[in-house]
A and B are shown apart, each in its own frame.
Chain A
Amino acid sequence: MSELSSSEPPSEPLSEPPSEPPSEPPSEPPSEPPSPTGPFVSDLFPFPSHLLSTQNYSTSTSHFVAQLNLLSETYSSIRIVKGDGSCFYRSFLYGLITILAEPENESERLRIIEYVQKSIITLEEQGYDPLIMEGFQEELLELLTSTIPSSRSGSLNLHTTLTDPHGPSQMSTWYCRPLCSSYIKSHPETFTPFLLSYPSLDSYCKSEIEPSSIESSEISIQAIVKAFGVKVGVEYLDGHDEEKVVRHVFGEGLEINMLYRPGHYDLIYKK
């Protein structure tokens, strides 16, 4: 990301209450949300031309086009993610699994497999039924262990696996939510100050993280990147400022980049 168009938050992002994503409503409906019945994650499309050709951005009334052009200095492709309330988690999982398939990330893949294997212990400590959790966990472990560093044709197979509606990715996507919850509940000192309006962390997780139709929030993004030990960069395509795109960076480690259009996340890839 060029420094001109990025503003990275301090390294300890929860040192102050998380800001909402750039807040005022955009000057026009920003975009058509992707279909909730489409593929989990699309093929790779050129960025930003794919968005420019599929969205009715008006150059006269908004800065979306200018912001896309700014982003095009850094990013060259995009995957559109299904808009069913789980787009962040799905983007996260797809981005994570495909990055871990790169041969140079083998040690991170092994570290994350170990984290997922041990996650049942934390979940059980936080009151989750291990019998049920294992049903979800095994699917995620299957994705992680079948992610053998591979050639280009291998990555095509990985895309097929990750987007198979009857494959392991659906259960794995849902598993991200209790992982997120258990991280929040096992770090009350970090999260309680931001969730004082909820009766308890448990109540917040039950209502705002675990139902499959609930979108992620900055809280859940913070929790999941910390839980997995990876980095997510989010570019906020909000149409506010033609000279700047706000970028938020969550966590540290292997990097997954997403484009946020109000209410929706897609995966974007650097040049």
Chain B
Amino acid sequence: MSTGAGYGAELLRRQLADLNRNPPDTFSVGLGEDESIYNWELMIMGPESTPYEGGFFRANLKFPESFPNMPPEMIFQSEMWHPNVYSSGKVCISILHPPGTDEHNPQETAEERWRPIIGVEQIVLSVISMLSDPNDESAANLDAAVQWRDDRKGYKRKVRQTVEKSQNDM
């Protein structure tokens, strides 16, 4: 939906205004080129004391028309090497899984399910926390997960390359 007429639109406008008024330390937000309230652009700073430190990672949050009943998708536009991010850039964490998909992933605790009252800031902070703390039990990028587990040095080297790339793209 691009008209922004849904009940979720007002909720999103409110949060966007608040995030612009009180910018968080670790990310910034704005609307995408189409100016739709259902399509946000993010700039996420790689968390300190992780291989992602110093990176400026661009991502999109795409909210469905049925938001907040259904969660948004988060997709990294910058190159991202992480066990829980698909090669397409799509983030795979449990709070962004639509309701009723738990059976695909028994590891997921019910506590991490999507809930309509989860705010955008909470979503992004969960993704940033995921960068610091990968979950190799539900890998979206198998190669990255195996490397993270078995060859931490190689993993860090690969992540540092994406950090440099993100800095050059700024």
Which A residues lie at the B interface, using CB under 8 A? Answer: 85, 128-129, 131-136, 139, 166, 168, 170-171, 174, 177-178, 203, 206-208, 210-213
Contacts and interface: CB of A to CB of B under 8 A. Distances in A.
B160 interface: no
B114 interface: yes
B7 A213 contact: no
Contacts of B115: 177, 206, 210-212
B119 A131 contact: yes
B6 A166 contact: yes
B14 to A, nearest CB: 6
Contact of B7 (A85, A131, A166): A166
B93 to A, nearest CB: 15
A135 B14 contact: yes
A132 B7 contact: no
The 9 closest A-B pairs by CB, nearest first: A207-B110, A213-B99, A210-B115, A135-B11, A174-B116, A211-B113, A132-B119, A207-B111, A206-B111
Contacts of B100: 213
A168 B121 CA distance: 24
5 contacts: A129-B119, A166-B5, A174-B69, A212-B115, A213-B99
Contact of B18 (A131, A211, A212, A213): A131
Contacts, number: 63
Interface residues of B, number: 23
B51 interface: no
B89 interface: no
B119 to A, nearest CB: 5
B7 A171 contact: yes
Nearest to B119: A132
Contacts of A213: 99-100
B117 A133 contact: yes
Nearest to A139: B7
A71 B133 CA distance: 56
Contacts of A136: 11, 116-117
A174 B6 contact: no
B168 interface: no
A139 B6 CA distance: 13
A47 to B, nearest CB: 30
Given A166-B6, A170-B7, A207 B117 contact: no
